[in-house]
Amino acid sequence: MQLFSALALIKEGLSGQRGWQAQWRSPEPKSSYDAVIIGGGGHGLGTAYYLASEHRLTRVAVLEKGWIGGGNTGRNTTIIRSNYLFDESAALYDHALKLWEDLARSLNYNVMFSPRGVMMLAHSVHDEQIIKRHVHANRCNGVDNEWLTPQEAKVFCPALNIEPNIRYPVLGAALQRRGGTARHDAVAWGYARAADSLGVDIIENCEVKGINRGADGSVESLQTNRGLIRTPKIGVCAAGNTSVIMNKVGVRLPLESFPLQALVSEPLKPILPCVVMSNGIHAYVSQSDKGELVIGAGTDAYTSYTQRGALHVNTHTLEAICELFPAFRRLQMLRNWGGIVDVTPDRSPIIAKTGIPGLYVNCGWGTGGFKATPGSAHVFAWTIAKDEPHPINAPFTIERFRDGHLIDEAAAAAVAH
Amino acid sequence: MLLIACPYCGERPELEFVYGGEAHIARPAAEADLTAGQWAAFLYARTNDRGVHAERWRHTHGCGRFFNALRDTTTDQFIAIYKAGEARPPAVAAPEKP
């Protein structure tokens, strides 16, 4: 692997930028692997990277039916935070956040992690109570989070409207200073390059058509549009298409796939120094380094695989943002798009073994999977390599829906998040 | 926004409706005999089809009634709309829009 450094930049700058190599290979699929990951998004590529780097499994392939990072990894609003209510979630998301903090160095790839702070607004007494409860629960779990008065929130984010005469006035905010954003494409590319350098085959345009099982029921091989691939271990990281893969082996999961929309504005000068979220009135906004406002809208009401959605969902979030930031009212929106998110009944993910030996699944991240990418990949690689869950993902089983041990972040946040 | 043909009121915008999830999931009889796994399957497991999907809608801001629909989840086009209690119609291709 050609390492990136200031010296390399200067050298290439002086020699006409002709020395850069391709960052990963495009190999033909081999006939067999020790493990195969289905899905070349951040979670799948990261899983392959940690399988190779931490568990010495180097005969690994990542199969991606489109192009890597072209699904939800390339479609999300890049918000990173770990201020979840329950102990299990706090452990999982803070594991991820700690990996984010050193990710650029460990991958030798600038993922532009920017811990600029994530501010969650309260607009009612109920919001205030639940958000303060989150703050206290987070601090008990060693996750930073603090309560700000409206005036303190305005100091941190001067564009915010804290006038008391609006429909949903800002009564305060929780601020996680370690939270922020990262460059989503760079996360996929950084993991792809690092995994490839350790021998992982990243195979694009390779769609899984079926999974074959042996006499004992364990997985044996994969049928793909690029031929048969034998492997004893399959990790499914297919996000919104997880049900499609799992239906091939007759496993019904507690998942529904919904379109989740996002949009960006025309670029403007720096105005928003942090991420601002409001679960109550459904606004999620930050400013990219290019200057565009990156805005997360909600999910559409119905299951769909169309990667688009209806305009009224975007209108709803823009109404909230225009009230919180009156200065944004004259902005034009440049692009909107949708991604397909797989949602569980408790809005917590499943990172677990399945009932089928050799088949592992990492799904159900719903509307908030990007922030967990490194942590999710790290514990999923452990689960695949050792055939048992890491202590952090041990509670995130499929069986929790049978046994009643839900990790009910849906109720905790009162919205999809 | 979807246009949805309520079988009682005719075509109305999606905003008048509430989505009711997968259709034809019958509450099991003999509840006392069910295992935890059977309850979980009834409550939580979903087909989540890519393609033709049978689903419930409720015309909340109209007649208030539930009905079922077949919709292609790869195009969002409705293929059939039928009343609650009726059998799922055979899946045919979505009608061409004029």
Average confidence score pLDDT of chain B: 93
Residue A221 amino acid letter = S
Q: Give percent of chain A above pLDDT 70.
A: 99
Are B46 and A403 in contact (CB < 8 Å)? no
Query: A238 CA to chain B: closest CA distance, Å?
Result: 13
> SS in 3 state form for chain A?
CCCCCHHHHHHHHHCCCCCCCCCCCCCCCCCECCEEEECCCHHHHHHHHHHHHHHCCCCEEEECCCCCCCCHHHCCCCEECCCCCCHHHHHHHHHHHHHHHHHHHHHCCCCCCECCCEEEEECCHHHHHHHHHHHHHHHHCCCCCEEECHHHHHHHCCCCCCCCCCCCCCCEEEEECCCEECCHHHHHHHHHHHHHHCCCEEECCCCEEEEEECCCCCEEEEEECCEEEECCCEEECCHHHHHHHHHCCCCCCCCEEEEEEEEEECCCCCCCCCEEEECCCCEEEEECCCCCEEEEEEECCCCCCCCCCCHHHHHHHHHHHHHHCHHHHHCCEEEEEEEEEEECCCCCCEEEECCCCCEEEEECCCCCCHHHHHHHHHHHHHHHHHCCCCCCCCCCCCCHHHHCCCCCHHHHHCCCC
For the stretch A45-87, pLDDT in tens is: 999 999 999 999 989 999 999 999 999 999 999 999 999 999 9
pLDDT (mean) for A310-336: 95
- At residue A168, the pLDDT reads 94
pLDDT (mean) for A174-200: 98
Confidence class of residue B98 from pLDDT cuts 50, 70 and 90? low
- At residue A341, the pLDDT reads 97
Confidence class of residue A417 from pLDDT cuts 50, 70 and 90? very low
A415: pLDDT strictly greater than 80: no
Are B47 and A311 in contact (CB < 8 Å)? no
Looking at beta carbons, which residues of chain A come within 8 Å of B25? none
Are A306 and B41 in contact (CB < 8 Å)? no
Record the pTM: 0.96
Minimum CA–CA partner of B53 in chain A: A303
Looking at beta carbons, which residues of chain B come within 8 Å of A306? 73-76
Query: B51 CA to chain A: closest CA distance, Å?
Result: 8
Confidence class of residue B91 from pLDDT cuts 50, 70 and 90? confident
Preferred mutation among B12, B47, B48, B75 to probe A, highest tally of A CBs within 10 A = B48
Average confidence score pLDDT of chain A: 96
Looking at beta carbons, which residues of chain A come within 8 Å of B46? 243, 252-256
Confidence class of residue B92 from pLDDT cuts 50, 70 and 90? confident
Strand, coil or helix: B19: strand
Give the closest of B2, B45, B73 to A305, CB-based. B73
Query: B38 CA to chain A: closest CA distance, Å?
Result: 8
Confidence class of residue A143 from pLDDT cuts 50, 70 and 90? very high
Give the closest of B15, B46, B74 to A305, CB-based. B74
| Adjacent-strand bridge partners of B2 | none
For the stretch A10-42, pLDDT in tens is: 999 999 999 999 999 999 999 999 999 999 999
| Adjacent-strand bridge partners of B70 | B54, B80
Confidence class of residue A1 from pLDDT cuts 50, 70 and 90? confident
Structure tokens belonging to residue A347: 């809005």
Phi, psi of A73 (to 5 degrees): -60, -40
A396: pLDDT strictly greater than 90: yes
Minimum CA–CA partner of A346 in chain B: B44
Decide if the complex's ipTM is over 0.90.
yes
**Is B39 within 8 Å of chain A by CB?**
yes
Instruction: Give dist(CA A394, CA A397) in Å, integer.
Output: 7
